[in-house]
């Protein structure tokens, strides 16, 4: 999946100072020139379609692991598959697909789905009820847009409370209000350690706490999102942010934090708990930390409701090989063997395929605990407007936790900015 630490930086949506008409015109001209140069470059560099060959773009670790599955497909069909892992994969796919180039299949998180579908870059797919029932229902929510399905779900993941079993002497907290007392107990019983840390200024990691109070990004209008109805500043969300601020003021949370510090301190055995996702597990395992996973705490008697992310296999709309691509995805990739192979290359999270998910949950308690967290989460909206959310909510968290605005004022400003065209 996409690196969650980049989500808050997506979408250059900050307000800019007014420009003169001449300056604005120059900016438009230069923007068009830059776009023409970039498109021209991709017209030459991007993959040309090859008869008798499929092309896939995906991350390198899982690409290497898929070689046995690719070989079996080639042996069965006579069709070769070329897998590449270009830098800035999602950006490069967008550029290439705009000029009808790029891979036949691209594997990426569902956060780009709405943008790529609206831009005509990916193809909608038709699936039988039998096929749909083989996968987690929540995963299909992530690939639905404008009442059509735009990709094949591979796996799901979400942020959770990750706790060090040697340092946390009580059950994992379900309420943010418990953290003060737990911090005092941890410091007393384990000198040099603290109760909890997370990148609380990040909208990706903190949103689940605000959502537990009733906060919502967009209301639903039938099956679609209503971008004019936002709920960033509902009373429960304001209370949740106020409690985060209180933890900073009480010294439970430091005044500044980075995600790298969160993982480093947890790996060093200096933290009883962090809020992170499955991408943090491998580092903790290598460091010998005996840890468990639980839903993140919330407010008003509710557990946290974090974003749920889904990795997806998309079909390039311009590909002349869509039938072959669907054959590979449906009969080779999205099978117990195919997804297990990907997982061995690099953990995929919780498989969307029911049969494999049930098997892996039985074998891995961490995945069983992760499934509980996914059940409590909400699928992250897949529309382009989410870029604005990460920008305005990140600014609100920064301003409020720095003490430059109250929780209510910061969230009200964010809510207004969300609806600003």
Quick one: pLDDT band at residue 3, thresholds 50, 70, 90? very low
Is the pLDDT assigned to residue 401 strictly greater than 90?
yes
Phi then psi for residue 329, to 5 deg, are -65, -50
Q: Nearest Cα to 317, choosing from 177, 145, 150?
A: 150
Phi then psi for residue 125, to 5 deg, are -130, 150
Is the pLDDT assigned to residue 27 strictly greater than 50?
no
303: alpha, beta or left? (left if phi > 0; alpha if psi -120 to 50): beta
* Lowest-pLDDT choice from 2-16, 69-83, 169-183, 265-279: 2-16
| Mean pLDDT estimate for the chain | 90
* Lowest-pLDDT choice from 22-26, 35-39, 138-142: 22-26
Quick one: pLDDT band at residue 16, thresholds 50, 70, 90? very low
Interior angle at CA 394, CA 393 and CA 398, nearest 5: 115
Q: What is the pLDDT of residues 188-226, one digit of tens each?
A: 999 999 999 999 999 999 999 999 999 999 999 888 899
CA dist., res. 275 & res. 264, Å (int) = 13
> Residue 221: its pLDDT value, please?
86
Cα 316 to its chain centre, rounded Å, is: 21
Averaged pLDDT for residues 334-350 = 95
Q: In terms of pLDDT, which residue wins out, 55 or 18?
A: 55
Domain 160-305+385-419 CATH assignment equals 3.40.50.300: no
- Which segments of the chain belong to CATH 3.40.190.10? 4-157+309-379, 160-305+385-419
Averaged pLDDT for residues 22-38 = 40
CATH number of 4-157+309-379: 3.40.190.10
CA dist., res. 219 & res. 224, Å (int) = 9
113 close to 151: Cβ distance less than 8 angstroms:
yes
Quick one: pLDDT band at residue 50, thresholds 50, 70, 90? confident
103 close to 296: Cβ distance less than 8 angstroms:
no
Q: In terms of pLDDT, which residue wins out, 4 or 391?
A: 391
Alpha-carbon Rg for the chain in angstroms: 23
Q: What is the pLDDT of residues 305-331, one digit of tens each?
A: 999 999 999 999 999 999 999 999 999
> Residue 222: its pLDDT value, please?
82
Is the pLDDT assigned to residue 15 strictly greater than 50?
no
DSSP calls for 21-90: HHHHHHHHHHHHHHHHHHHHHHHHHSPPP-TTEEEEE--HHHHHHTHHHHHHHHHHH--EEEEE--TTHH
* Lowest-pLDDT choice from 47-56, 130-139, 282-291: 47-56
Percentage of the chain modeled with pLDDT above 70:
88
* Total Cβ atoms within 10 A of residue 371: 18
């Amino acid at each position: 999946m996409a690196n969650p630490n980049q989500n808050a930086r997506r979408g250059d949506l900050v307000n800019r100072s007014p420009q003169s008409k001449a300056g604005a015109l120059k900016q438009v001209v230069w923007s068009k020139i830059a776009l023409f140069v970039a498109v021209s470059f991709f017209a030459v560099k991007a993959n040309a379609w090859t008869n008798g060959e499929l092309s896939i773009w995906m991350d390198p670790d899982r690409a290497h692991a898929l070689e046995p599955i690719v070989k079996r497909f080639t042996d069965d069909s006579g069709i070769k598959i070329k897998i590449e892992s270009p830098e800035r994969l999602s950006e490069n796919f967008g550029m290439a697909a705009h000029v009808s180039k790029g891979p036949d299949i691209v594997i990426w998180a569902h956060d780009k789905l709405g943008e790529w579908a609206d831009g005509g870059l990916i193809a909608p797919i038709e699936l039988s009820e039998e096929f749909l029932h083989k996968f987690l229902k929540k995963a299909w929510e992530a690939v639905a847009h404008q009442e059509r399905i735009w990709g094949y779900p591979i796996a799901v993941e979400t942020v959770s409370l990750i706790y060090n079993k040697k340092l946390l002497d009580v059950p994992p907290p379900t309420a943010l209000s418990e953290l003060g007392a737990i911090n005092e107990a941890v410091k007393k019983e384990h000198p040099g350690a603290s109760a909890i840390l997370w990148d609380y200024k990040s909208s990706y990691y903190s949103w689940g706490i605000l959502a537990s109070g009733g906060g919502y990004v967009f209301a639903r209008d039938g099956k679609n999102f209503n971008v004019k109805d936002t709920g960033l500043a509902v009373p429960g969300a304001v209370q949740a942010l106020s409690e985060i601020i209180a933890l900073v003021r009480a010294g439970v949370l430091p005044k500044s934090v980075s995600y790298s510090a969160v993982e480093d301190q947890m790996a060093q055995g200096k933290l009883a708990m962090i809020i992170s996702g499955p991408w943090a597990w491998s580092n903790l395992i290598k460091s010998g930390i005996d840890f468990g996973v639980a839903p993140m705490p919330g407010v008003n008697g509710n557990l946290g409701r974090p974003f749920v992310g889904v990795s997806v296999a998309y079909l390039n709309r311009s590909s002349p090989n869509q039938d072959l691509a669907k054959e590979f995805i449906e009969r080779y990739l999205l099978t117990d063997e195919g997804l297990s192979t990907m997982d061995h290359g690099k953990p995929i999270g919780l498989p969307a395929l029911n049969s494999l998910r049930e098997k892996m949950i039985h074998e891995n308690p961490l995945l069983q605990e992760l499934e509980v967290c996914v059940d409590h989460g909400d699928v992250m909206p897949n529309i382009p407007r989410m870029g604005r959310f990460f920008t305005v909510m990140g600014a609100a968290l920064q301003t409020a936790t720095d003490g430059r605005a109250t929780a209510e004022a910061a969230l009200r400003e964010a809510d207004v900015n969300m609806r600003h065209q």
